[in-house]
Amino acid sequence: MLSTWFRVIRIRFLLSSVIAVCLGLAINWWHHQTIDVFSASLTFAGVIALHASVDLLNDYWDFKRNIDTKTKRTNFSGGTGVLPEGLLKPKEVYVAGVVALILGAAIGGYFIFVNGVIIAIILTFAIVSIYFYSTRIVDSGLGELFVAIKGTMIVLGAYFVQSSEIVTESVLGGIVLGVLSSMVLFVNSFPDFDADKASGRRTLVILLGKKRATSIIWIFSSIAYGVIIVGVATQTLPVFSLITLFTIPLLIKSGQELKQSFDNIEKLVPVMRSCVLYSRITGVLLVLSFLFSITQYN
């Protein structure tokens, strides 16, 4: 039963939010050489709860709308398969999603009390967008934008609860990780094209068409690398942030394979895998760049 819940929560995909929190903490350490361990632990718990909530509610709504029953499930797309296989009841998944949302909101409420209105704004955005993500947001064609903003907000929030400040470094770092997470969502939506379209969803792939959409992967990566390069050039980000450029070969491999395999689900699986790997490695390298640059900043 526990393995089933881990499956429906998509526990391995929680890593993107963990990396985003780590980046906020790394930037704070770069600035102040201190970490409030209690606040950091609560931040991890709150962010993981909110991320789990959106995944649980997504599985519930995709099942209720017969999306997951029409898709061919892979390790990266088509839902978790828990509800179509009858391993859990829809109500159980929905209640778990709402409970996770309440838990994340409660932790956020503590930070509102401690840190004030900025956290209230971030938390309000998170609660509203998480609950409506799988219905109103994705149906409006805003899914990729939501994920990009979500990643940015996590980095901003993780830094803010440590320092009570919003700084340019946390904004730029958040944009990079947000765009990378959005790119993963974008690529993973290719196999679900038909089911999503039939159910009224408007993903970026649906809006552009699969063949034309393959070129968009270069826009995501150009934004991420562009932000890093401009940040380094303006001495806002540490020069070590350029180590993220070492992932360019993996990006090129993913982009080329996507162009060749966009209409073949079996061939898309390794493309989705390499895209996830690219996003995670780039994020980790960005975190490490701040830790390596402490003496430089001082």
The CB-side HSE value for 223 (13 A sphere, CA atoms) comes to 17
Sketch the domain layout of the chain as residue ranges.
Answer: 12-27+35-297
The average pLDDT across 114-140 equals: 89
**Cα–Cα distance measured from residue 96 to residue 93, given in angstroms and rounded to the nearest whole number:** 5
CATH topology of domain 12-27+35-297: Farnesyl Diphosphate Synthase (1.10.600)
Q: How confident is the model at residue 81 (pLDDT cuts 50, 70, 90)?
A: confident
Q: How confident is the model at residue 68 (pLDDT cuts 50, 70, 90)?
A: confident
Average pLDDT, the chain: 92
Residue 25, helix vs strand vs coil: helix
Tell me: pLDDT of 235 over 90: yes
Q: In this predicted structure, what is the pLDDT of residue 66?
A: 83
Q: In this predicted structure, what is the pLDDT of residue 48?
A: 96
CA distances from 64 to 53, 77, 83, 100, 271 (A): 16, 17, 9, 20, 28
The average pLDDT across 107-121 equals: 94
**Cα–Cα distance measured from residue 108 to residue 113, given in angstroms and rounded to the nearest whole number:** 9
Tell me: pLDDT of 162 over 90: yes
Q: In this predicted structure, what is the pLDDT of residue 260?
A: 93
Q: What is the pTM (predicted TM-score) of this model? A: 0.94
Q: How confident is the model at residue 140 (pLDDT cuts 50, 70, 90)?
A: confident
DSSP string, 108-149: HHHHHHHH-HHHHHHHHHHHHHHHHIIIIIHHTT-HHHHHHH
> Residues 185-231: pLDDT tens digits?
999 999 988 888 888 888 899 999 999 999 999 999 999 999 999 99
One-letter amino acid identity for 256? Q
